Structure 1
Amino acid sequence: MSIQAVIFDWAGTTIDYGSRAPIVAFQKAFENVGIAITEAEIRQDMGLDKYNHIQKIISLPAVQNDWQARFQVLPTSDDCDRIYRDFKAILLASLTNFAKLKPGMTSVIDYLDDHQIAYGTTTGYDSEMLSIVLPIAVKQGYLPAVNITSDQTNGIGRPAAAMLELACDQLEVTDAATVMKVGDSVNDILEGQNADAITVGIIDGSNLMGLSEAEFNSLSESDRAALRTQVAQAYQKVGADYILESMAELPALIDSINQPVAND
């Protein structure tokens, strides 16, 4: 078996170290209606498309309680729509500040190009958000062959397999066992599993880690090691096939998988 295609996530995986842009936008959008939400409350459902993610947040018991205390009623679908519109405006205005490629991505791109391995993306961004980050990524040398959002799958996003399956169809890869899904959240791993692909979780700069590059680099070696272990355990818990400390390790992993098996 050899890897025929690699499907990446965007924020926290290939760009935006720590997946900071969505966190900031979620918090500001809820703050604008007088509701404080924590990073932990946001990150537990990262990887979903953004509208469904807001539905998840607004359904949290703590958020419902705070909402009822403030407005004397529970939040409605109209409230969800309003928060989503505000969130999207905030995110669109800030995405250009969070589109830098993560460390190791340049060498990964060169490796995939040199070995003629196709690569594409699935994402929780919608098409308008993607239209902002993609040109910035292209200027840095990152040009995925396909980029799938839930806009293209009738609103079906992660953890379902629909986006990943569409990416494979567009890349004309028919054997899911030769496809590698690389992501930085639990929902990325679940998406890959649901599509029967090989799943790879990235530790450093991931949503699961949640720190900016400066914040991570300011930690002691022992604190970095402890945090990496914590993230690895989260991937292990959901059954990721492989767990890498950084994206720079991906070429070696693909080489090891593509090694021919010697006959006995």
Structure 2
Amino acid sequence: MSFTADGRRGDLRIRAVVLDWLGTTVDFGASAPGAALAEVFKAEGVPLSAGETRNVPGRSVREQLWALVGNPSIAERWRRAHSRDCSEADVARMADAHSAALAACIPNHAEPIPGVIDVVRALRVQGIKIGSTADFDASVAEKLVAAAETRGYRPDCIVTLSDVPEGRPAPWMCFECARRLNVYPTFVMIKADDTLEGIEEGLHAGMWSVGVAATGRDLGLSPREAIGMARADFDRRLKDTRARMRAVGAHFVIDSLAEFLPCLEAIQQRLALGQKP
């Protein structure tokens, strides 16, 4: 027996797509979080390079801050600026400052990634709803959404960390998207994300999960950096990113959302055969 998303019997098809923000739909290279970290450290008298703030390990801001101050070079700069090691109180203060720093810089990182507007338009023509999840709080999301809308992109719903008890890889933001869009079961939904945690988020929610490899945080390259890199080095890094996404369980991996529509068609065909994520 099969059901449509509103609970009636019928042929199954994808009813909604949940898209991440930075690195998936806007901000090619997902550089906004790194820019905010750099501003936080700059206020502490500790300058950071773009390379040091790219793809910092850690799922929370505090974990990322500890990772940075654990870097021997950054730790030495901190000691020169403060005449002591970085403390728990310092990290707490910087974590509190991070949200404001991100909110201040995020409007400059709201440019839709090439192909996104066309794909979203094509999805809506098919009657597919567009949800979104943001790995930051509502105060930051409000500024990002407003800036992205002036550039032509606005999803049907926006769920942030302010709306759920725990962020990705927990499924709660995806579930909240499903609730707000009134779409169920979740296997008629697709999650597309440029991070490993976001891919896992979709899987934990019972959705089809698509990794976006070339435009996001895991690869961590701006268009200029990608073009300027030796081709062999770029191909190697992209191959590694694709492999990591497949390793965490992505059903499909694409380089950018511009390649999403063939994925959608493949998933529609699998649904028609009775397959689920």
Range class of TM-score, shorter chain: 0.7 to 0.9
2:63 partner amino acid: K
Q: Distance in 2 between matches of 1:219 and 1:4?
A: 39
Q: Distance in 1 between matches of 2:24 and 2:143?
A: 17
Alignment counterpart, residue 84 of structure 1, candidates 66, 90, 95:
95
Alignment counterpart, residue 153 of structure 2, candidates 132, 142, 145:
142
Q: Distance in 2 between matches of 1:250 and 1:147?
A: 20
Give the Å deviation of 1:90.
2.4
Taking only aligned residues, the RMSD between alpha carbons, in angstroms, comes to: 2.4
Alignment counterpart, residue 256 of structure 2, candidates 241, 246, 250:
246
Tell me how many residue pairs correspond in the alignment: 253
Residue in 2 that maps onto 1:163: 173
TM-score, L = length of structure 2? 0.82
Give the Å deviation of 1:43.
3.1
Distance 1:165 1:60, change over 3 A: same
Q: Distance in 1 between matches of 2:261 and 2:56?
A: 28
Residue in 2 that maps onto 1:75: 87
Q: Distance in 2 between matches of 1:181 and 1:43?
A: 23
1:138 partner amino acid: E
Q: Deviations over 1:212-254 (max 9, x none)?
A: 1111122343333222201101112212111001211101111
Distance 1:35 1:233, change over 3 A: farther
Give the Å deviation of 1:59.
3.9
Matching of residue 39 in structure 1 with residue 50 in structure 2: no
Q: Is the 8 A contact 1:25 1:91 kept in 2?
A: yes
Instruction: Provide the secondary structure at the position in 2 that maps to 1:120.
Output: strand
Alignment counterpart, residue 179 of structure 1, candidates 189, 194, 199:
189
Distance 1:74 1:220, change over 3 A: closer
Matching of residue 2 in structure 1 with residue 9 in structure 2: no
Q: Whose Rg is larger?
A: 2
Q: Distance in 2 between matches of 1:157 and 1:27?
A: 23
2:234 partner amino acid: R
Alignment counterpart, residue 219 of structure 2, candidates 209, 230, 235:
209
Q: Deviations over 1:23-76 (max 9, x none)?
A: 111133134335577336x5333xx4xxxx222124449629839966656622
Q: Distance in 2 between matches of 1:73 and 1:136?
A: 38
1:135 partner amino acid: A
Choose between structure 1 and 2 for higher RCO, CA contacts under 8 A separated by at least 6 residues: 1
Give the Å deviation of 1:142.
1.7
Instruction: Provide the secondary structure at the position in 1 that maps to 2:130.
Output: strand
Give the Å deviation of 1:206.
0.9
Instruction: Provide the secondary structure at the position in 2 that maps to 1:249.
Output: helix
Unaligned stretches of 5+ in structure 1? none
Q: Is the 8 A contact 2:157 2:181 kept in 1?
A: yes
Distance 1:95 1:175, change over 3 A: same
TM-score, L = length of structure 1? 0.86
Alignment counterpart, residue 188 of structure 1, candidates 190, 198, 211:
198
Unaligned stretches of 5+ in structure 2? 1-11
Give the Å deviation of 1:185.
0.7
